[in-house]
């Protein structure tokens, strides 16, 4: 399996994707210029990100906060909405992309 991974990484590097090496971390990236999110091997378009944002905002508004379960769901949706907003915002150092590393076991 390692030979296959090396071959794929070598082909990717040859096609201009950069030099990839085996690592315990997978980098996820949001490209603010295109609005695209590269996450866990998926390419998520700006349209899909907007649909996700609309979904979470809609559910946030419908939460019944009078129960502990409803309040917990409100906080979950609020977290998702704010995370999308943060992802879309510029970094404090002015970069147009946010890189997040997820530990892969």
The pLDDT > 70 percentage for the chain reads 70
How buried is 37 (Cβ within 10 angstroms: 0-12 exposed, 13-18 middle, 19+ buried)?
Answer: buried
Q: Is residue 16 one of the residues assigned to a domain?
A: no
Could you read off the pLDDT of 42-52 as tens digits, one per residue?
899 999 999 99
Q: Is residue 13 one of the residues assigned to a domain?
A: no
More confident: 11 or 79: 79
Instruction: Report residue 18's pLDDT band, with 50, 70 and 90 as the boundaries.
Output: low
Q: Which three-class secondary structure state does DSSP give residue 36?
A: strand
Q: Is residue 37 one of the residues assigned to a domain?
A: yes
Q: Is residue 64 one of the residues assigned to a domain?
A: yes
Q: Which three-class secondary structure state does DSSP give residue 100?
A: strand
The pLDDT > 90 percentage for the chain reads 42
Exposure of 43 in the CB half-sphere (CA atoms within 13 A): 1
8 Å CB contact between 15 and 78: no
Count of structural domains within the chain? 1
Q: What is the pTM of this model?
A: 0.62
């Amino acid at each position: 399996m390692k030979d296959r991974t090396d071959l794929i990484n070598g082909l990717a590097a040859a096609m201009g994707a950069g030099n990839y090496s085996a690592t315990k971390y997978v980098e996820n990236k949001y490209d603010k210029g295109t609005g695209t999110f590269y996450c866990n091997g998926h390419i998520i378009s700006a349209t899909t990100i907007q649909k996700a944002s609309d979904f979470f905002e809609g559910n946030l508004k419908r939460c019944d906060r009078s129960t502990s379960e409803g309040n917990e769901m409100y906080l979950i949706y609020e977290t998702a909405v704010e995370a999308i907003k943060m992802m879309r915002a510029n970094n404090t150092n002015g970069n147009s992309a946010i890189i997040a590393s997820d530990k892969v076991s």
